[in-house]
Amino acid sequence: MSTSVAFEKAKAENRAALVGYLPAGFPSVEGSIEALTTMVEAGCDIIEIGLPYSDPVMDGPTIQDAVQQALDGGVRVDDVVRVVEAVASTGVPTLIMTSWNPIERRGVDRFAQQLQDAGGAGLITPDITPDFAQEWIEAADARDLDKVFLVAPSSTDERIAMTTAQCRGFVYATAVMGVTGARAKTSDLAAPLVARTRTTTDLPIGVGLGVSNGAQAAEMAAYADGVIVGSAFVRTLLDNRSDEQAALKALASLTEDLAAGVRAR
């Protein structure tokens, strides 16, 4: 199911959509399914599942830590697809967020087919841009999968237009110049970027990087169609790693706080 469904629903309710991220296989394959399901039940409108990769350039220390644990635990690409299938079966649009090489290594077309068969919505590809993603664009177009590329505060207007022209589902606007990770203050670069992006597309725009609580989510929901949260969820699991029930409880309450935030625009 395309993420556009969730964005339309949020729009009809005059709010932003909440997009939640966790890497597959963290703390374990089953554990990640349970955690993501908890996030869905507590109010995430869209789920991003991270495909753990050995050399993630766009991730900060929190997500790197979780991804390394997932890799050390032996998570495989097929496990990631299994997590997608389980989460997508809840009825919430579910994407994979991945560095490029695992997709290239498997074969872009073969991966796209697996993703579609599992009920996945599409891919977020943070370390490639449309001008180097022709094969993925064709594979996604053939299956109507979401293609979510990123725009950044440093992007020129020309590149934003080129990028949004190739997106399907939504556009991912990175709120800061930097890698993933919770930040104490929201960025003043995000709103101008969303405004510049809006002039090029009718697609919904999700803003990510640095959001960790309901108040920040509310600030971003004022101008964005979606608020994307990753490291804060990961942090919650890392902080409660010895107590699974406490972790899920904390995850649910963070989700509720953020879900209230996207409704308080």
Partner 1 sequence: MTTHIHETTSFDADEFGWFGGEAEGFGGRFMPEALMKALIELDDAWQKAKADPEFVAEFDAILRDYANLPSPLYHATRLSEQLGVRILLKREDLNHTGAHKIRNVLGQALLTKRMGKTRVIAETGAGQHGVASATAAAYFGLDCTVYMGKVDTDRQALNVARMRLLGAEVVPVPSGSGTLKDAINEALRDWVASVDHTAYLFGTAAGPHPFPTLVRDIVRGIGDEARAQAIEQFGGLPNAVVAAVGGGSNAIGLFTAFLDDSDVEIHGFEAGGDGFETGRHAATIQANDPGVLHGARTYVLQDEDGQTIESHSISAGLDYPGVGPQHAWLAKSGRASYTSITDKEAMDAFALLSRSEGIIPAIESAHAIAGAIKIAPEIKERHGEGATILINLSGRGDKDMGTAIDYFKLGDEK
The active-site residue, picked from 48, 146, 219, 225, is: 48
CB of 29 to partner 1, least distance (A): 14
CB of 177 to partner 1, least distance (A): 5
**Is 41 considered catalytic here?**
no
**Sheet with 94-98, edge to edge strand ranges:** 146-148, 122-124, 94-98, 46-51, 17-23, 226-229, 205-208, 171-174, 150-151
Candidates 63, 68, 92, 67; CA nearest to 212 is 63
Residue closer to partner 1 by CB (options 29, 103) is 103
Tokens 């079966």 belong to which residue? Answer: 89
Contact set with partner 1 (CB under 8 A): 53-61, 64, 68, 71, 76-77, 100-106, 126-129, 131-132, 134, 149-156, 159, 163, 174, 176-179
Residue closer to partner 1 by CB (options 44, 152) is 152
The alpha-carbon radius of gyration of the chain (Å, integer) is 17
- What are the structure tokens assigned to 96, written together? 């994979």
Residue closer to partner 1 by CB (options 177, 246) is 177
The active-site residue, picked from 8, 55, 59, 127, is: 59
Residue closer to partner 1 by CB (options 169, 214) is 169
For residue 19, give the DSSP letter: E
CB of 31 to partner 1, least distance (A): 20
CB of 104 to partner 1, least distance (A): 5
**Is 59 considered catalytic here?**
yes
CA gap 152, 138 in Å, rounded:
24
CA gap 208, 87 in Å, rounded:
21
- What are the structure tokens assigned to 232, written together? 């804060």
Q: Phi-psi bin for 229: left (phi > 0), alpha (psi -120 to 50), beta?
A: beta
Query: Could you list the active site residues?
Result: 48, 59
